[in-house]
Amino acid sequence: MKFTKTLIKGKLIKRYKRFFIDIKVKNKVLTAHCPNTGSMMGLLENNNDIWVSQNDNPKRKLKFTSEIIKVKKNLVGINTHFANKIVHHGLLNNLIDEFKNCINIKSEVFYDKETRFDFLVKKNNEKIFIEVKNVTLSRIDSLVEFPDAITTRGLKHIKKLIEASKKGFKTYVLFLIQRQEIDYFQIAKDIDKEYYNNYLLAKDSGVSFLAYRCKINFKEIIIEKKIKIIDGR
């Protein structure tokens, strides 16, 4: 996923009302849209370097959008709207081992009247549902976790994937890690125990789980490598 314009660097002042971030750029305070519904735990220290994109569409209320933040020495992608675009690029370019040479890639596919999964692909004559979860939380060096807050939506998706798996579909959850310098992933069971319990149930019911780390720079964010999932049983 490539950025279409040069990103603007600033310093983080604060995030508020979930969808707003104030940043300082050359002694001016700008308000940017924050396309991230998570808690962003561990990312929002005052004065962190942050990069925003600019869109001059007059219909937009805010012309700036937060894209990348620097935490310690690591770049973190914070625009969760890009997660599916990054995965779609990975599917098209065979960057995800499990889905190499898949065909008929479809996005935002209805499973039933109330539930959509992020992707439906076909490989070896099998239909595969893929649900993508964006990951940024890191409380221990080299380890990321999901979720960073209780996730009702994530829990619903896991339960529906279990149902789909029992009906004969191949089903995957792909944890997309928009952080550098990460080697391991685990479920944050201290944050959402119910999600963790259903994650274990899903594994036993045939749902597969993958974690892939991204390569991040100021021109693009793309899938880089698969990392190990720690069960924590």
43-87 confidence digits (pLDDT tens): 999 999 999 999 988 888 999 999 999 998 899 999 999 999 999
Q: How far is CA 199 from CA 10, 36, 47, 158, 171, in A?
A: 38, 23, 36, 7, 13
Above 80 in pLDDT, residue 233? no
Contact 8, 51 (CB under 8 A): yes
- CATH of span 80-230: 3.40.1350.60
Q: What is the pLDDT of residue 231?
A: 85
What is the percentage of the chain residues whose pLDDT exceeds 90? Answer: 90
CATH of 8-75, one of 2.130.10.10, 2.40.50.580, 1.20.1250.20, 3.30.450.20: 2.40.50.580
Q: What is the pTM of this model?
A: 0.95
What is the chain's Cα-based Rg? 18
Q: What's the burial of 44, exposed, middle or buried (CB within 10 Å: 0-12/13-18/19+)?
A: middle
Does residue 191 contact residue 149 with C-beta atoms inside 8 Å? yes
- Residue 114, both tokens: 């109330």
Domains of the chain by residue range: 8-75, 80-230
What are 112's two structure tokens?
A: 């039933």
Helix axes 193-204, 152-166, angle to 10 degrees: 10
Asked if residue 147 has a cis previous peptide bond (ω within 30° of 0), the answer is yes
Percent of the chain whose predicted confidence (pLDDT) is above 70: 99
pLDDT at residue 59, as a whole number: 87
